[in-house]
Amino acid sequence: MTDFFQNTLGMSYEFAWFTATIAGILLIALPLMLAVAMIIYVDRKVWAAIALRRGPNVVGPFGLLQSFADGLKVFLQETIIPSAANKGLFLIAPIVTFTVALLAWAVIPFGPEAVLADINIGLLYVLAISSLGVYGVVVSGWASNSKYPFFSAMRAAAQMISYEVSIGFILICVILYAGSSNLNTIIVAQIGHGFGLVNAFAFNLLLFPMWVMFLISSLAETARAPFDLTEAESELVAGYQTEYSSMSFALFWLGEYANVLLMAALNAILFFGGWLPPLNIDLIPWFDIPGFIWLFAKIFFFFFVFSWVKATVPRFRYDQLMRLGWKVFLPLSLAFVVLTSGWLMLTRYG
């Protein structure tokens, strides 16, 4: 895009780069917000369908405008700040959650060239940013000065640290196979990876278990059901969001769903070929279909899996959550790092 602004519009390089970056940020952030609004609608429709209900169907055709009506309602509400709350941190916390949820999208590739920041350490960047997400929850829980948000903050801190460890090891396996932590290189490395036919790392005996663990860990990392202990409504009212109202509440929601979409995108990029078409045969000209359509289809599929799980699986107990993270996923992913590197030494580098 810098080229376009520089050569077609005749700007100087610095100014063209600046304009291109701002345009890129807007091109990612605005559609993402729209996607979050629509995906909340999808989420509610999927739960409704599984529970044999109709779901939102009043506002707009098929209830499509429901999220926008909710957003407007929330926007017009009064912002209530509890008198005993730590005011500054109470207001900063939702902003942190929301900002961090948007930050990670900077390195997500939507096509061979369509990346805002095509950096060498893309995957590490995603890991670093997703580890920041916990601060919004912890700070809001503490600043609310109320017992349920505080319990929720404690749970969130322990939960996210536990699952980040195994996510780190899973990412190392993928990096080993792709030979790079640049997300575009990882995607290109998946061309014909499964039997020379399927463009996906998931069709590999060593990486398939990693993908299953990554899917479950990403549910835990985004605190979605069955790991939504931070906002378990039967125990903690609404968890860390209990004292929030109006726009600060909406920011939590937007941030949370942006994170869920990010995790779905990571599932698609790391294990299912990102913007590549699913199969490596050119029977129908699907390599000509723009990459972002494939990526969006895969994100949509994984999001459906997420809400499917949310509608069907009961919530974990806290000790079960910790056991799964530390006693099952951590040793397993560690063993697979050794297995994967051993196999690669034997076949590729040996």
Partner 1 sequence: MIQTLAFYLFAVLVTASATMVILSRNPVHSVLWLILSFFNAAGLMVLVGAEFIALLLVIVYVGAVAVLFLFVVMMLDIDFSELRAGFMKNFPIGVAIAVVLLTELVLGIGAYRAGALQLGAPTGDAVPIPGRGNIDSLGAVLYTDYLFLFEAAGIILLVAMVGAIVLTHREQKATRGHQNIGKQVRRNPDEATVMKQPEVGAGVEL
Closer to partner 1 by Cβ: residue 71 or 149:
149
Chain positions contacting partner 1, by CB under 8 A: 14, 86, 89, 119-121, 124-125, 127-128, 131-132, 134-135, 138-139, 142, 150, 153-154, 157-158, 160-161, 164, 168, 181, 319-320, 323
In terms of CB distance, is 142 or 244 closer to partner 1? Answer: 142
Closest CA to 102 of 29, 20, 168: 29
130, amino acid identity: S
> How far is residue 263's CA from residue 269's CA, in Å, rounded to a whole number?
10
> What is d(CA 56, CA 64) in angstroms, rounded to the nearest whole number?
8
Q: Whole-number minimum distance, CB 33 to partner 1, in Å?
A: 25
Q: Which is nearer to partner 1, 150 or 177 (CB)?
A: 150
Question: Angle at Cα 70 formed by Cα 69 and Cα 73, nearest 5°?
Answer: 85
Nearer to partner 1, 46 or 266 (CB): 266
Q: Is the dihedral of CA 207, 209, 212, 214 positive or negative?
A: negative
Give min distance, CB of 65 to partner 1, in A.
Answer: 38
Do residues 244 and 91 touch, judged by C-beta distance below 8 A?
no
Nearest distance from C-beta of residue 86 to partner 1, angstroms: 8
Q: Considering the complex, what minimum distance in angstroms separates the CB of residue 85 from partner 1?
A: 13
What is the DSSP annotation of 129-165?
HHHHHHHHHHHHHHHTTSHHHHHHHHHHHHHHHHHHH
Of 26 and 121, nearer to partner 1 (C-beta) is: 121
Smallest gap, in angstroms, from Cβ of residue 29 to partner 1?
Answer: 21
Q: Which distant-in-sequence residues (6+ apart) come within 8 Å of 47 by Cβ?
A: 53, 55, 307, 310, 311
